[in-house]
Amino acid sequence: MMNSLQSRLWLPSAMIALALFLSCLLLVGIKGKNLIKQASIQEVFTGETHEFSDDLGQLAKIVPPTNYVATPPENHGPQYRTVDWLKAQGSLAWTLQVFSSIDEDVVKSYLVQRNDKEQFAYFLYREGESTKYVVIYGNFVTMELALGVSNTMDFGLLNSARAAPEKFLTYVPHVPLIEQAIDQPPPPKYEGVPDIPVTPEESETPIDEGLSEKQPLKEAETPVLDLF
């Protein structure tokens, strides 16, 4: 009796389970069609070509463009040094000041003629409104060593002048951190422009005569000029 009842209930139960399974599959398929399709990596790189603006990444709205033209640095010699180099020589180190000049070309010409130019250095020295270039020689531990070299070495100076010992740190406050050429705007360049004389055109002559006729005041001034 039980076996016949179970056999009768099995078929409807199987049909109900199959119907539920098919309905679930249909529901999942409908939801999948409504979802937004996500592009794959291959589709991103092989898809449409995007065009970018010329100012992309330049932050033109935050940092507006400018017409500033940077000044080219001066053409210093190979022995030219900055304030950082002077500080690196040591707080107790001494050197020999050979000479100073307001003309950098004089300094360059002097150093070119020296066979021991690698031992020399020069830098821009500013005191008040005046600037000059100071030439130094060597790095010494004590002032006595610097004086010994100054008394025995020929620097080729005029009037038998001798190099004077000086500490490196005494120059540091007078050496500008920024080059003078960068502080000032670039000078205007007018080289190569020929001088063309200005000659009055023929059409200007009747215009001047017409203007002179319209000014009767000049006729009254004529006898005054004739008296002198």
Torsion angle (degrees, nearest 10) of CA 217, 220, 226, 227: -130
Residue-wise pLDDT tens for the chain (228 aa)?
Answer: 555 655 666 677 778 878 887 877 777 777 666 655 665 666 655 655 566 666 666 666 666 666 655 555 568 889 999 999 999 998 899 999 999 999 999 999 999 999 999 999 999 999 988 999 999 999 999 999 999 999 999 999 888 889 999 999 999 999 987 654 444 444 454 444 455 666 665 554 554 544 445 555 545 455 544 444
* Predicted structure pTM score: 0.48
- Residue 173 is predicted with a pLDDT of 93
What pLDDT shows up at residue 21?
79
Residue 117 identity = K
Q: What pLDDT does 165 receive?
A: 95
Look up residue 125 and give its DSSP letter: E
**Strands in 77-129 per DSSP E:** 94-101, 120-127
Count CA within 13 A, CB hemisphere, residue 153.
16
The pLDDT value recorded for residue 74 is 63
Report d(CA 170, CA 97) in Å as an integer: 12
Name the residue among 114, 118, 126 with its Cα closest to residue 83.
126
The residue assigned the tokens 């004529």 is 222
| Predicted local distance difference test score (pLDDT) of residue 186 | 45
The pLDDT of residue 183 is 42
Other C-beta atoms closer than 10 Å to the C-beta of 131 total 13
Q: Give me the count of residues in the chain.
A: 228
Structural domains of the chain in order of their starting residue, each with its CATH number: 83-181 (3.30.70)
Q: Which distant-in-sequence residues (6+ apart) come within 8 Å of 99 by Cβ?
A: 110, 135, 157, 161, 163
Dihedral (Cα; 126, 83, 152, 116), 10-degree rounding: -110
CA distances to 25, 44, 53, 199 from 208, in Å: 103, 77, 58, 15
